[in-house]
Amino acid sequence: MAELKAVLFDLDDTLVPEMKPENEALLIACRLATERYGINAQQMTRSVGEAANKLWATWSPSGLYSTIAYSGWEGLWGPPDIPDDGLGNDQETINQYKRDAWDSVLADFGIQDAELRNEIIERHRIERVGRIVPFPGAHDILREIRNDYLLGVVTNGSPAVQRFKLERSVLAGYFQTVVASGDVGVGKPNPLPFTTALEALCIRPEEATMIGNSWSSDIQGTADLGMSTIWFNLERAVRPETGTPPTFEVSVLTEIPDTIRRIATM
């Protein structure tokens, strides 16, 4: 095996929790409707995803959001897109999306209240942004390996949103390159995000390992590139019967440095 020179990480639910903090923030925001109208906040929270994703699909230029896995959840709280990315969401556009999405949710419960809608938008943003924190141990493992390897992030989503998460979680400084699917116009498991990161680091696929939580995007996405992989199986899911197995599997972040050393000696 070639000398290991770089370690690539997925971001969402690998270094930074994604859906758990999202659900927490949504529930807190929906409780504003409970206070004013007696609405079941948990029931409203469950309805947000359908309303947001339905509207989000109409916002997407030629289906691009689906192609790069840019989520309607992130549109509800995230920053506007960078103009050069071609994703189309300037500040006013993204604000209109938030208003329309929450108006739709409230209408499902027989509510038409612009003041409440605006309060919910702001509460959700504050609560969601405040929960952008890395998994316990993430800083420790990155500090441990950064002197021995080049580090990169390969993540699906909007470049503006994903880089905001890295900055907010104080992880950005560890990485020599960050590639979001929106940077290249296609998401994982397409190999382009991975090869773009490798080219930025000036290394060959066999000189890198990829760490991620998604069997399909992270592990199968690199299967034909000759990269080693570490499946971060936090939920201890049953390994799928199809697809290329990872080089190693871990269930806690603290196992990663030792696993990288094992790969380096293969």
| Contact residues for 21 (Cβ-Cβ < 8 A; gap 6+) | 128, 131, 132, 133
The widest CA-to-CA distance across the chain, in whole angstroms, is 63
3-state secondary structure 179-212: EEHHHHCCCCCCCHHHHHHHHHHCCCHHHEEEEE
Dig out the tokens for 226 from the structure: 């000759």
pLDDT recorded at residue 1: 67
Q: Where are the domains positioned within the chain?
A: 6-17+133-264, 19-130
| Contact residues for 222 (Cβ-Cβ < 8 A; gap 6+) | 191, 194, 205, 210, 229
What pLDDT tens digit does each residue of the chain (266 aa) get?
689 999 999 999 999 999 999 999 999 999 999 999 999 999 999 999 888 988 988 877 778 899 999 999 899 999 999 888 888 888 998 999 999 999 999 999 999 999 999 999 999 999 999 999 999 999 999 999 999 999 999 999 999 999 999 999 999 999 999 999 999 999 999 999 999 999 999 999 999 999 999 999 999 999 889 999 999 999 999 999 899 999 999 999 999 999 999 999 98
Half-sphere exposure of 156 (CA within 13 A, CB side): 26
- Homologous superfamily, domain 6-17+133-264: HAD superfamily/HAD-like (3.40.50.1000)
